[in-house]
Structure 1
Amino acid sequence: MELACLTVFLLSLLPSFEGRYALVLGVFRGLNPILSMLAASAGVILLSIVLPYAFPKIDDLMVWMLRHGGRFRVKVASAYLKHVGRIRVKAKPYIGKYGIPGLIFFVALPLPSSGVWTGALIAYVLAMSRYKTMAVLLAGGLLSNFITLTFTLLGFGLPSPL
């Protein structure tokens, strides 16, 4: 059981998996749905705290690579910084229109290419404060876990955890 909880937690940290898919895997592997939800939610909480601090460090690394890197590093850093700049320009009108609730909804959508990692990147490129970003990621990530667990339990006739 401890290994299954650890597996759900570790998978919940991966960008393409995240908590919502990790908890489904835990339930299908026979883990109690509440334990699966708790392990996946622990991953969401950790990512909600770490990611707002990580993205600025990545930018610092890219700027350093521009100044001190060889030809390949300069190409990579230039491409990254240009891409982030384009995202900032494209995403700003949408967040301006829908605001924080829109970003929470985006993070909560249990679909590929949405989620905590993508929400953190969007919040970063739009220069949202770290604390707002943490709140958005936490609310959206936990809501996503709840939605996914609900559909998993309803859709597959599994016993209710309550």
Structure 2
Amino acid sequence: MTLINYLYVIALSVMPISELRGAIPVGVGLGMTPLNATILSVIANMSIVPILLIITKPLFTYLRKYKFFGELIERFENRALKKVKNFKKYELLGLYVLVALPIPTTGAYTGIVAAGILNIKFKNALLAIVLGVLTAGIIVFTIVNGFTLLAFSN
């Protein structure tokens, strides 16, 4: 394993869309053990959560002044709002589930936007999102580890 491979996994973990759901399998593909890829990806994905929880709402407010960014933000928030509708009445549990399910267009970024839309307090949102990231990491680890064991068992 080279430093570049670790940095690649970290970069994928903190990027919207791929997050740890993409980083863990890529890490294993690059030669990491499923456990190492998961630990690195979960830590990297969690590291962005507090920062983004603090800056997303003010940043979106500022960027809305510009037509191009305003339209992008509107689309992103509308997409998040569609997902939040299913979880809104459960608030924190719903936010946790939204982040924990390792399916496309869910994850820490969607959870951060959803927390802003629902006006969830920082501490509560942080807890729900971080636990969701941890759970998603465990789920992806289990899937990737299962495939790895199947692939190398024969």
TM-score, normalised by the number of residues in structure 2: 0.81
Number of the residue aligned with 1:101: 93
Cα offset, 1:122, TM superposition:
0.8
TM-score, normalised by the number of residues in structure 1: 0.78
Number of the residue aligned with 1:4: 5
How many percent of aligned residue pairs carry the same amino acid? 23
Cα distance, 1:61–1:104 mapped onto 2, change above 3 Å: same
Cα offset, 1:24, TM superposition:
1.1
Larger-Rg structure: 1
Report the residue type matching 2:118 in the other structure. Answer: L
Number of the residue aligned with 1:145: 137
Q: How many residues align?
A: 150
Match of 1:121 among 104, 109, 113: 113
Q: Per the alignment, in what secondary structure is the counterpart of residue 131 of structure 1?
A: helix
Cα offset, 1:79, TM superposition:
3.8
Residues 1:111 and 2:103 are matched in the alignment: yes
Cα distance, 1:9–1:77 mapped onto 2, change above 3 Å: closer
Cα offset, 1:108, TM superposition:
0.9
Q: Which runs of 5+ in 2 are unaligned?
A: none
Residue 87 of structure 1 contacts residue 122 of structure 1 at CA under 8 Å; is this kept in 2?
A: no
Cα offset, 1:81, TM superposition:
6.8
Q: Which runs of 5+ in 1 are unaligned?
A: 66-72
Alignment of 1:1-150 (within 5 A): 1=1, 2-62=3-63, 65=65, 73=66, 75-76=67-68, 79=71, 94-150=86-142
Cα distance between partner residues in 1 of 2:73 and 2:6? 37
Cα distance, 1:79–1:116 mapped onto 2, change above 3 Å: same
Cα distance between partner residues in 2 of 1:91 and 1:21? 20
